[in-house]
Structures are given as C-alpha cells and as structure tokens.
Structure 1
Amino acid sequence: MRVWEVGWLGAQVAVGAIAAVNLATAPRLPRARPRRRPRVSLLVPARNERAHLRRHLPTWQRQRGAAVEILVLDDGSTDGTLALVAHAARRDPRLRVLTGAPLPPGWVGKNWACAQLARAARGEWLVFVDADVAAAPMALARTLAAAERWGADVVTALPRNVGPWPVRAVTTAVAQLPLLLALPLALVPRRPEPSLAAGNGQWFAWRREAYEAVGGHAAVAGEVLEDVALARRAKRAGRRLLVVLAPDDLRVRAYSTLRAAWQGFMKNLYPLLGGRPWAFAMLWLLVATAELGPWLALPRPSAAAAVLVQLLVRGAAFVALGQPPWLALVYPAAVAWGLAAAASSAAAHARRAVRWKDRPVPARAR
C-alpha cells in the first residue's frame, strides 16, 4: 500500500473517530423549560424577506415557555416586507417593526441591521434569527434551558436544512458537516481556545451582558463571517460558548435553488477557507484530496475502504443533522460543487466583485 493510500484511509478513519465522538456527545437542545423566564428579544434583520416572513413569523409568535418580544428591522426592502410586518404588529403587541438607518461605510448590511436591533431590544437575552428560519413552539425555551444546563453565555444552533434535496445536500455538506467532522462540539463550552469556536447567525442567542462585553456587532462591522468572529471574541473574553444540534426544533430554508446557494456561498466560502490566497489554496487542495481522492482512485482496495468509511460516517452525520442517510451517496458531488463554488468565491473576492442583497460587500470584509 502506497503512502498516499495510507493517508487517504488514515484521514477517513481520523475524521470518523471525531464524528463518532460528536455523534455520541454533541450537545442538543434539552427537552426542558428554563427554571427562570428572563425577558428575551428575538431579533430579525430583514431585507426583501417577505416570502420567508409570511411562513416563519407565525412560528416565532407561537413560542412558549419564554417571555419574548419580537423585533424585525426592515433594511431597505422593496418587496413589501415592511407592510407585512407592520400589519402583523397591529395584532400582536409583542411584535415591533423598525426601519433601518442608512448603511454606514465599512459595514456589512446584516451586521448594521443586527447592531440596530440590539440597541432597540429590551431583553436580558438577545436571540438573532434569520428570516428563513422556522422555530418549533419550544425552541426558544429550550435554548434558554440549554444555556442554564451548560452555564453558557452564548448559544448557537445548527438547524435542519429543508428544501429540494440537491440544495439540502450541498448546504448540509458544505456548511454543517465540517463542524461534526472536525470540531469536538462537547469541548466547545469547556475549553477557552478561540480555535474551538463556531457560530451560526441563523440562530445565535446571547446573554445581553456578554454581547455588550465583546463589543457586539460594531466590533465585527465589516466581517462577512460575523457569527464566527463574534464566537471567537466570546472565547477570548472568557465567555462560555455552546454549539447545539437542533434539527427537531429549528428548520432553515436558506436557499430554494442551487443557483441561489451558489450566490450565497460566493460571499462566504473564501473567508471561510482562510481568506488569504495561500491559506485558501492549501485548504482547498486538502479538502479536494481527502474527500474526492479515494473516489478517483477506485477500484483500488485502499480507496474502496476509504470510500466505505466515508459513506458510513457521512451517512450518520447527515442523520444527526436531520437529513436522510442516502444523501451520503451524493456527498462527493456535493463536495465537488462546494469546491467549485469556493474557487468562484476566491475569484470574486480577488476582483472585489462580491455582492449580497444587491449591495457590494465592503473591502474590509474580504
């Protein structure tokens, strides 16, 4: 067996070991209510999100077991977002609609919207949620119960991706599986190292005092991956961070088509893979070699063994994230799609041609 064949198989076994530990020990939202009911502000930045809000706003209004206010900030929408939320607010005193101020230079739009929401919020806990997330009735209460159980100042969750199966395959494989395959989630609340930090802005709960102590979104104004940056700041400030799996309580429809997913990942993948040319190139080649190499070397016995381990591990990880195990069969195609999107993301960042929600992404965010 050649050295590179041993490397393939060894890499898959090592990743499988981390995944097995995660599948057995990763924190999940407890089936419990918090012992106390702090006031919670559910904070929703919205720019042209009318379609998502029609489906998901009612799920936030049905939250039980927590004293909640819901703030939606309309960030210059042109699709009727403001009218939809204003109409709902007239029938629900817990719901407030805000109109966003003009975007200052150097800010990413979402970060500016979240900063304004935090200033207007009254809660002891600030829960940032994307408009494309639907929440089960006890999701908020269980998030607070998780914070109590683990003594966390910050709780971030991985929802179940929903939508057409090709979109679920790529979004889960590219955005969620790497956490289960590389980051020991049970250690995140126990260890102080920023390298053991992860954040997901789709559902990001902060004790207000901790949020203000790390500087809030103003401290990451120009960051594309503001959730990861904030999570690392929390670690550096000595705050306890918790990452939970929540496929039963939270569902996200981030993209409806592969084309929309491509556009979204164009913004994120280059900074996610290092954000610098050499770091990006090394990580890109590492992922391509480790994840696709065994498939290209079939039917060598060592490659077949590596592929078998990969399928078993990815199938179990897909199930843990609320997906069917058969998505593991299209995992190589999803990885290839992700690598192509990452290369396109790098090219767009190099040309300073990155746009999101009809706005250019500021250079500092790149």
Structure 2
Amino acid sequence: MTVAWLAILALLAAHTVGNALLLRRPRRDAATTERVAVLLPLRDEAARVAPCLRSLLAQRGLADLTVHVLDDGSTDGTADLVREIAGDRVRLHTGAPPPAGWLGKPHACHRLGELAGDVDVLVFVDADVVLEPDAVAGAVDLLRGSGAGLLSPYPRIVGAGRLVQPLLQWSWLTFLPLRGMESSPRPSLAAAGGQWLVLDRAAYLRAGGHAAVRGEILEDIALARAVKRSGGRIALADGSRLATCRMYDSWRELADGYAKSLWASFGSAAGAACVVVPLLLLYALPPLLAPFASLPALIAYLLGVTGRVAAARATGGRAFPDALAHPLSIALFAWLIARSFQLRRRNRLSWRGRPVA
C-alpha cells in the first residue's frame, strides 16, 4: 500500500513537471493587424477598475483595437469613473438585468459579444486583471499559433489567499494532460479561467457564445466545452509575465467567492467527495503519519511539495515558503468545498447582490 501511494505521488509530481515544460506562453513584442475587441464587464467595480482600464488603454502592437465596457447595473459610480479615466477612448454601454434563466456575468458577456461587431478576435477581461502593454497582441498571436478557437492565458494571482489560490494552476498542471486536452475533442477534458479569455469570433459564434452557457456558474469552463462541442480546439497558457489578477483582498472575500462556485465544479456532493477524499489522502495525510512511518511520510510530503513548486515556477507564483504548506492548502480547499455545498443547501449563495444558485 505504501509503495502504491508513493508511486502515485511520484507520477503526479512528474506529470506536473512535464506539463510545466510544455506550457504555452504568449510572447512579448508581438503585433497583429487583426480586428480585436477587448470586452470588459463591470458591476460595482469602482474600487479596482482603474488599473485594469488604464492597462487596456496602454495596449500596443494592435492595428485595429476597440475597447467595450459594459456597466452592469453598478451603484457605486463605476460608469462615472470609466468616463473620467477613458473618456471617448472606450465605448461605454449600459447593461440591463439578466432575463430569466440567465446569470449576470454570462448575460453581460453576451451583450458585449453582440456589441463588439464584426471583429476577428474577442478578448474578455475581468476588472481585477491588469495587463502589460504587449498582453493582448501576444495573446492573439498565441491564439493563432496554437490553432485554438479559445485560449485561456492564466494571469499571475496576487492578493489574499496564498495558501489556496495557487491550487488553481497546480490542479490543472497536475491532473490535466495539456497536449491531450488540446487535441482531444472530448468536452469533459477542458479547463479555462474567465479572468482573461481570448477567442476567435467565428469559433465563439459556432459554439453559441455566452448564450450557450447562460445559466452556468462556471461559465468559463462551460464556454470552453461549448467550443469543443462545436468542433473547435482550446488551449491553456501561462500569462503570468503579461497579466496579474487580484481576485480577493481578504480571506472573507475569498471564502465568499469560492463558495458561490465550488459546488458547481463537481456536479454533486458525491462527485466532490470522489475528488476531495483522494486529495486529502495523498497530500494532507503525510504529516499526520509522520510519527508512525516517518520516512514514507517524509517522501510523500516532499513529492507533494515538488509538484507545488513546479507549478509555482511555471506560472509566476511564489514557491517558498508557500509550497511547504501544501498539506494545509489541500485541507483548507476541502473545507471551502464543504462550506460551498452547505451554503447552497441553505440557499444563501449570492454575488454582487444577485443570487447564483
């Protein structure tokens, strides 16, 4: 049993390292003549939209760029701030409450996709993302170079949650075969991060756009699957050199943000248990076993840390001392999942004043 346990951990660590070496990255100093629309949905983002907006206005290497901003019912002066910073350099639109069957973000993105007009590439960006000047051109260049219809360049995560947030990149580097995912037509073999998505517009329309994922909490992953269903390809990339994302400023924000969506990641509580229990056994158990089997427990712990370090190095994260707390990270993640299901059962999930479940 001990040998099998350590063998699984060694294989997973090796898979993480292999994926890290294969990970695509947008290049700097790229340029494109394609028609590109950057699409920014906003709802009560006055406290943090300014850096994002200024970074969009500073993009270079693009011969034909338009920036569309949708104010989705903000009550904190977001639209006024956009006008103050950008003036007529962006196209500011006013959103409407989502119709029945739609969640807020898919509806806002759907409207932006319509408003973008006849362009070649759609770039969806969240308000907590700040792009380097070469980011959009580099991402468009990589989209074309990869042959994908949807590219998801993951930004470097900053802010609160150093114990939990890095698990996002670690999870797909550890458990998802990147090149296999790109070549496989299976929709179930998909991952994407909605903070920054780059899509060929024709592929987006073939997939049904955000109308195809109107009621999805995890609309980013659902959109990637829709692209696959329509015959398109998807690709993941490390965007950490060209983008940062400050998702949360406090542990409370992080816990609430994860609560609204984690339950939807597994399909059911039983599905979540099938994922969480092996994670706990593989990665959180070794420190507890140290008094009884010190050498196997130490090897197991170090294999977990190795994978976490490889993921951090590949995606712009902080390897040390954060990776040393990997067992605690897994335990906290399990608690966040359990909390998400509990709040959903109590009908207490909402985000930005709108129910999400």
Q: TM-score range by the shorter chain?
A: over 0.9
Contact preservation (8 Å) 1:62, 1:137: yes
Q: CA deviation at 1:78?
A: 1.2
Equivalent residue for 1:316, pick from 310, 320, 328? 310
2:48 alignment partner, SS class? helix
1:88 alignment partner, SS class? helix
Report whether the alignment pairs 1:90 with 2:87.
yes
What is the TM-score when the length of structure 2 is the normalising length?
0.95
Q: CA deviation at 1:32?
A: 4.9
Contact preservation (8 Å) 1:8, 1:293: no
Share of identical aligned residues, percent? Answer: 37
Q: CA deviation at 1:126?
A: 0.9
1:157 alignment partner, SS class? strand
> Counterpart in 2 of 1:260?
253
Q: CA deviation at 1:88?
A: 3.0
2:263 alignment partner, SS class? helix
Equivalent residue for 1:214, pick from 198, 204, 207? 207
Contact preservation (8 Å) 2:68, 2:93: yes
Spell out structure 1 runs of 4+ moving beyond 3 A: none
2:165 alignment partner, SS class? helix
> Counterpart in 2 of 1:330?
325
Give me the whole-angstrom Cα distance separating, in 2, the residues matched to 1:113 and 1:91.
Answer: 21
Give me the whole-angstrom Cα distance separating, in 1, the residues matched to 2:283 and 2:38.
Answer: 38
Equivalent residue for 1:139, pick from 135, 144, 147? 135
Contact preservation (8 Å) 2:169, 2:311: no
Q: Structure 1 residues 248-257 or 293-302, which shifts more?
A: 293-302
1:195 alignment partner, SS class? coil
Report whether the alignment pairs 1:351 with 2:346.
yes
Report whether the alignment pairs 1:242 with 2:235.
yes
Contact preservation (8 Å) 1:200, 1:227: yes
Q: CA deviation at 1:182?
A: 0.8
Q: CA deviation at 1:150?
A: 1.4
> Counterpart in 2 of 1:65?
61
Structure 1 unmatched ranges of 5 or more: none
Amino acid at match of 1:275: G
> Counterpart in 2 of 1:183?
176
Report whether the alignment pairs 1:113 with 2:105.
no
Contact preservation (8 Å) 1:262, 1:341: yes
Q: CA deviation at 1:91?
A: 4.7
Equivalent residue for 2:274, pick from 277, 282, 290? 282
Q: Structure 1 residues 185-194 or 326-335, which shifts more?
A: 185-194
> Counterpart in 2 of 1:103?
98
Q: CA deviation at 1:201?
A: 0.7
> Counterpart in 1 of 2:37?
41
Contact preservation (8 Å) 1:32, 1:145: no
Q: CA deviation at 1:306?
A: 0.7
2:182 alignment partner, SS class? coil
Equivalent residue for 1:229, pick from 222, 228, 231? 222
1:342 alignment partner, SS class? helix
Contact preservation (8 Å) 2:190, 2:225: yes
Give me the whole-angstrom Cα distance separating, in 2, the residues matched to 1:195 and 1:18.
Answer: 19
Amino acid at match of 1:99: T
Give me the whole-angstrom Cα distance separating, in 2, the residues matched to 1:295 and 1:107.
Answer: 45
Report whether the alignment pairs 1:306 with 2:303.
no
Q: CA deviation at 1:321?
A: 1.5
What CA deviation, in whole Å up to 9, does each residue of 1:174-231 have, x standing for no partner? x221011111223332222223311111011111111111111111111001111111
Q: CA RMSD in A?
A: 1.5
Contact preservation (8 Å) 2:283, 2:326: no
Give me the whole-angstrom Cα distance separating, in 1, the residues matched to 2:276 and 2:318.
Answer: 27
Q: CA deviation at 1:76?
A: 1.0
In the comparison of the two structures, how many residue pairs are matched? 352
Give me the whole-angstrom Cα distance separating, in 2, the residues matched to 1:10 and 1:293.
Answer: 15
